């Protein structure tokens, strides 16, 4: 803390600034977390409609979810679909983003706009277009077709985020790696990605969540495959049932577990790459 | 000479029999083991499974696979792409008329369906009416009860906020009923008069709801005092009270997409037959409080529950039957005027 | 800062080939089907080329008004996300790592709740019988419940709540990479904290902020659940209109025409964004 005492570094002003920042940060966090704080207790409520705070507690909604093979099947389908499509989007989109940023070919802006386009085109229009394409090749109602649709939706997030990340990464670090003898692939794997892990993680999470929440395209092309959002939207048109809060809570628990695992793995890898180990 | 003729006749005979046998075998091979249908899902789909699919599969051994949700857009996509993935498609009455105009559906084989006695409006040449539902007035238990839509419009005597459907095909009709138009004289709708009627109530409408689940939620949340709602989830909700008086009665149909496989289609007629039987419809009504089109339904259902259903004798006669043909023909125009109306809110 | 093709990096990075796989997948699965679908907007009833559908969209004031309404809400949402999200990311950056994890969790976890559940959760919080109103009435601050929902305010609260993480997460990831030593160097050279922030930190965070803002804007255009449930029917947005035109009517020609207009407008904005960030590129 050897910052020089500046004339306008009035400690009172600095304190006000810091407190204001902290308050606004906490305020926004509360705003963001409010639905979570509501939804989790509601899932343990015994009421048959959405009430907060719950008057009495019970596990009936969890029993209903776990006892219904259709919900379990839907959750399985959704998880597998989201995992596969987000990873696929990350690989395809991440590589493409690198090519866009470091490459020097004609029409880069057009290509990048094309990659972002699935975000801009209303999903209901993509749904119909995809329906015809899949019908033409006979893949309608197949898991592969669904995977394609979800991957297409994840790609724009990956390209957008990774483009910014690559662009802000000093190219000279890459060049140093090359002069030290690394192949491009080694450089990518051991220099670029580890340094850009936060952005990579953000991109993957966006793609995953998008797939998990996707309903419009899924209703058109999924045939008899049921995903969680598709079931939820279908049923909720008729009645609001707190079993959706149970599912939401399960997902929160799952994501907490995943993040804990990720943090643990990152700590271990950091320990492993410490100098002298 | 005679032996040659006899020999030729024998050969001809054998060949003909052979042809007949092979074609018969081929047709038997075509009989589907599985039928696919597109329906709206949720409890409604469950009612189809338990009440109609079960007896059908028991009788014929044909499995029925349900897919949901349904929409006119999906039907158009199916027909235009040439791949008919569902032999039966569920559509609301207005959508059936629109689908007919667009050339998306085929006539049904009513001889093959051989239905039990049904109400007339359920027997269209190209659509099978399978489920009635009503749009009725609803309020919380304990509030001042309504008798007519004019009461619904009367904010002085029945104070509180209202909720109405964000669907012009329903709300315009209700607005006319509130303005004093008799149910028999409802169609063709006097659209100008309907919008004028809406002007009187629009400042008191807190929510124009889109999803059926919103209406009971709004009432329970005390967001509104009175609402129009679809009868299905209201009648079994013990926190709410309702009346079928001046309700708007509508029908959902099953259609066959143009270009469907003929063998599958004839098998599907068997399923429609099951849907026409009163005893099956009674089972369906237990799962979701909507009734089928059988005229004998009253005898098959639990009399204590008759007041819950849209087509029980007492309820059917006080309601107005919607006219899907007029609604479909004018759908685009009234939708545009409706969006304009909402922008001005 | 040489972009010479002779620098070792450019020779070894197979840039073009990296782009090809995705390009192929998209060409087959997205571009082609989409061209066919959007092509309907210029095909007349008899099959010939026509601009009649676009004319109909332009003449029907309802479509253009809803489109403008949607753009307006997108601008408001993006502005609010920036106002709320930037300070949050900045504050998170300054926290010790353990607290950063906690803060990040609170940003990421709401993601896992489906948008439909979150929308209904807002009804529980902000409805007439909801927590906030019960609190306000109980404390005697108001006589009647305040209408937070079933109007444009409700829709904006809902969309900002859903889209804020889309801005905060990439922004945070980028801010974390900004070297503290740059800031300290500026201070050593005599800059005030405000100048350090405004002239060193902020420009470095700008590309990510801009990317996040563009993302939030584009995503708002596609919202239909939130305006349908929280808007009370009063907030028509373009995605609801398109759902009607594709699923209910169906009027695919009009839907295609509107989508083409939407695409043109958004792509123009996106190209503008690309131009702006190209100016910021440091290498």
* CATH number of the structural domain spanning residue A199: 1.10.3720.10
Tell the burial category of B77 from Cβ atoms under 10 Å away from its Cβ (0-12, 13-18, 19+).
Answer: buried
CATH topology of domain B31-132+251-313: D-Maltodextrin-Binding Protein; domain 2 (3.40.190)
Can you tell me which residue has the tokens 């696919």? B36
Confidence label for B19 from pLDDT (cuts 50, 70 and 90): very low
The pLDDT tens digits for A224-260 are 898 988 888 776 665 667 888 888 888 888 878 877 7
Inter-residue contact C137 to C76 (CB < 8 Å): no
Q: Percent of chain A at pLDDT above 90?
A: 22
CA B14: distance to chain centroid?
Answer: 52
Yes or no: say if C217 and C167 are a contact pair by the CB < 8 Å rule: no
Pairs of residues, one from chain B and one from chain C, whose beta carbons lie less than 8 Å apart: 71
Residue A199 maps to a domain: yes
Which residues have C-beta within 8 Å of that of residue C177, sequence separation ≥ 6? A168, A198
User: How far A124 CA sits from the closest chain B CA (Å)?
Assistant: 10
Q: What residue ranges define each of the domains in chain C, with the CATH number in brackets?
A: 15-50 (no CATH), 61-280 (1.10.3720.10)
Could you count the other beta carbons within 10 Å of the beta carbon of residue A118?
22
CA angle A85, A91, A94 (to 5 degrees): 120
Helices of type H across chain A: 11-43, 60-67, 69-102, 108-120, 123-137, 143-167, 171-179, 184-187, 193-195, 197-213, 216-221, 228-236, 243-272
DSSP string, C35-72: HHHHHGGGB-TTSSB--HHHHHHHH-HHHHHHHHHHHH
Q: Which chain A residues have any C-beta within 8 angstroms of a chain B C-beta?
A: 49-50, 128, 131-132, 135-136, 138, 140-141, 219-220, 223-224, 234-240
Residue of A49, A141, A237 with shortest CB distance to B211: A237
User: What average pLDDT does the structure give for chain A?
Assistant: 84
Return the H-helix or E-strand segment holding B86: none
Distance between C46 CA and the closest CA of chain B, angstroms: 14
Q: Work out the average pLDDT over A158-181.
A: 87
Kindly report, as residue ranges, where domains of CATH 3.40.190.10 are found in chain B. 31-132+251-313, 135-249+319-343
**CATH placement of domain B135-249+319-343:** 3.40.190.10
3-class secondary-structure state, position B248: strand
| More confident: C270 or B98 | B98
Q: Is A75 on the interface with C (CB under 8 A)?
A: no
Which residues have CB under 8 Å from C227's CB, separation 6+?
Answer: C155, C235, C236, C237, C239, C240
pLDDT of residue B86: 94
Whole-angstrom Cα distance, residue B135 to residue B247?
A: 6
Domain range for residue A248? 61-260
Over the stretch C64-89, which tens digit does the pLDDT of each residue have?
899 999 999 999 999 999 999 999 99
Note whether residue A273 is domain-resident.
no
Rounded to an integer, what distance in angstroms lies between the CA atom of residue C127 and that of residue C146?
8
CB B161 within 8 A of CB B225: yes
- The C-alpha atoms of residue B309 and residue A13 are separated, in whole angstroms, by 70
pLDDT of residue A191: 83
- The neighbours of chain B, by the rule of 3 or more Cβ pairs under 8 Å, are A, C
Kindly state whether residue A109 falls inside one of the protein's structural domains. Answer: yes
Find out whether the peptide bond into B69 is cis, omega within 30 degrees of 0. Answer: yes
Number of domains observed in the structure of chain A: 1
Instruction: Decide which of B318 and B164 is more confident.
Output: B164
- What ranges in C189-251 are assigned the alpha helix state H? 193-196, 202-221, 225-230, 238-243
pLDDT digits (tens, 9 = 90+) for C176-232: 888 889 889 998 998 888 888 898 999 989 888 988 898 899 899 988 888 888 998
């Amino acid at each position: 803390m050897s910052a020089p005492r500046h004339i306008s570094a009035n400690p009172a002003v600095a304190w006000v600034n810091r407190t204001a920042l902290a308050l606004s940060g906490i305020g926004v966090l509360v705003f963001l977390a409010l639905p979570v704080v509501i939804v989790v207790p509601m899932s343990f409520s015994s009421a048959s409609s959405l009430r907060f705070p719950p008057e009495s507690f019970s596990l009936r909604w969890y029993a209903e979810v776990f006892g219904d093979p259709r919900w379990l099947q839907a959750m399985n389908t959704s998880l597998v679909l989201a995992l596969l499509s987000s990873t696929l989007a990350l690989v395809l989109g991440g590589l493409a983003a690198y090519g866009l940023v470091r490459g020097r070919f004609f029409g880069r802006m057009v290509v990048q706009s094309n990659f972002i386009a699935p975000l801009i085109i209303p999903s209901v229009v993509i749904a119909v277009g995809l329906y015809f394409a899949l019908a033409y090749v006979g893949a309608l109602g197949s898991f592969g077709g669904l995977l394609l649709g979800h991957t297409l939706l994840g790609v724009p997030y990956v390209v957008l985020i990774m483009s910014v990340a690559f662009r802000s990464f000093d190219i000279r670090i890459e060049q140093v790696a090359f002069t030290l003898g690394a192949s491009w692939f080694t450089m990518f794997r051991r220099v670029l990605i580890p340094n850009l892990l936060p952005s990579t993680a953000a991109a993957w999470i966006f793609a995953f969540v998008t797939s998990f929440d996707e309903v419009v395209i899924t209703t058109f092309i999924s045939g008899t495959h049921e995903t969680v959002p598709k079931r939820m939207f279908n049923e909720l048109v008729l009645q609001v049932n707190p079993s959706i809060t149970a599912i939401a809570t399960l997902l929160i628990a799952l994501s907490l577990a995943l993040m804990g695992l990720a943090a643990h793995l990152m700590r271990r890898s950091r320990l492993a790459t410490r100098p002298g180990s | 000479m005679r032996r040659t003729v006899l020999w030729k006749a024998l050969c001809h005979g054998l060949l003909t029999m052979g042809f007949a046998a092979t074609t018969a075998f081929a047709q038997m091979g075509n009989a589907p083991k599985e039928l696919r249908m597109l329906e709206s899902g949720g409890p409604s789909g469950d009612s189809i499974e338990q009440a109609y699919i079960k007896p059908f599969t028991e009788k014929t051994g044909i499995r029925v696979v349900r897919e949901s949700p349904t929409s006119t857009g999906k039907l158009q996509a199916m027909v235009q792409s040439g791949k008919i993935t569902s032999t039966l498609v569920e559509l609301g009455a207005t959508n059936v008329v629109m689908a007919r105009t667009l050339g998306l559906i085929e006539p049904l084989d009513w001889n093959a369906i051989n239905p039990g006695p049904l109400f007339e409006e359920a027997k269209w040449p190209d659509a099978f009416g399978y489920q009635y539902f009503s749009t009725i007035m609803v309020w919380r238990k304990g509030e001042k009860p309504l008798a007519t839509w004019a009461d619904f419009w009367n904010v002085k005597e029945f104070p509180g906020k209202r909720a109405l459907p964000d669907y012009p095909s329903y709300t315009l009709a209700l607005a006319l009923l509130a303005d004093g138009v008799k149910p028999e004289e409802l169609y063709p709708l006097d659209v100008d008069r309907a919008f004028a009627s809406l002007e009187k109530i629009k400042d008191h409408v807190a929510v124009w709801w889109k999803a059926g689940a919103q209406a009971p939620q709004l009432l329970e949340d005390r967001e509104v005092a009175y609402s129009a709602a679809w009868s299905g989830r209201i009648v079994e909700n013990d926190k709410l009270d309702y009346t079928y008086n001046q309700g708007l009665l509508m029908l959902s149909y099953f259609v066959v997409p143009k270009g469907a496989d003929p063998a599958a289609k004839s098998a599907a007629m068997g399923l429609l037959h099951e849907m026409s039987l009163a005893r099956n419809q009674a089972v369906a009504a237990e799962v979701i409080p909507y009734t089928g089109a059988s005229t004998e339904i009253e005898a098959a259902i639990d009399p204590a529950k008759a007041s819950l259903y849209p087509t029980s004798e007492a309820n059917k006669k006080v309601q107005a039957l919607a006219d899907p043909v007029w609604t479909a023909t004018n759908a685009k125009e009234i939708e545009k005027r409706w969006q304009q109306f909402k922008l001005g809110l | 800062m040489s972009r010479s093709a002779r620098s070792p990096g450019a020779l070894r990075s197979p840039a073009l080939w990296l782009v090809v796989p995705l390009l192929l997948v998209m060409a087959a699965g997205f571009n082609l089907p989409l061209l066919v679908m959007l092509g309907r907007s210029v095909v007349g009833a008899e099959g010939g080329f026509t601009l009649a559908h676009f004319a109909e969209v332009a003449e029907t004031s309802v479509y253009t008004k809803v489109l403008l309404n949607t753009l307006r809400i997108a601008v408001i949402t993006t502005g609010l996300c920036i106002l709320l999200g930037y300070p949050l990311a900045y504050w998170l950056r300054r926290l010790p790592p353990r607290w950063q994890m906690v803060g990040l969790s609170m940003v990421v976890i709401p993601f896992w709740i489906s948008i439909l559940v979150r929308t209904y959760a807002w009804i529980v919080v902000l409805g007439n019988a909801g927590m906030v109103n019960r609190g306000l009435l109980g404390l005697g601050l108001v006589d009647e419940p305040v209408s937070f929902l079933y109007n444009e305010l409700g829709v904006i609260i809902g969309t900002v709540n859903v889209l804020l993480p889309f801005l905060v997460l990439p922004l945070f990831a980028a801010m974390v990479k900004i070297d503290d030593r740059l800031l300290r160097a500026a201070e050593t050279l005599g800059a005030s904290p405000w100048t350090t922030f405004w002239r060193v930190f902020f420009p470095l965070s700008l590309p990510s902020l801009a990317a996040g803002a563009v993302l939030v804007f584009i995503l708002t255009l596609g919202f239909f659940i939130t305006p349908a449930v929280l808007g009370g029917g009063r907030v028509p947005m373009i995605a609801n209109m398109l759902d009607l035109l594709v699923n209910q009517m169906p009027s695919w020609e009009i839907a295609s025409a509107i989508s083409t207009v939407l695409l043109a407008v958004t792509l123009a904005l996106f190209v503008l964004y690309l131009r702006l960030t190209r100016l910021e590129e440091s290498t």
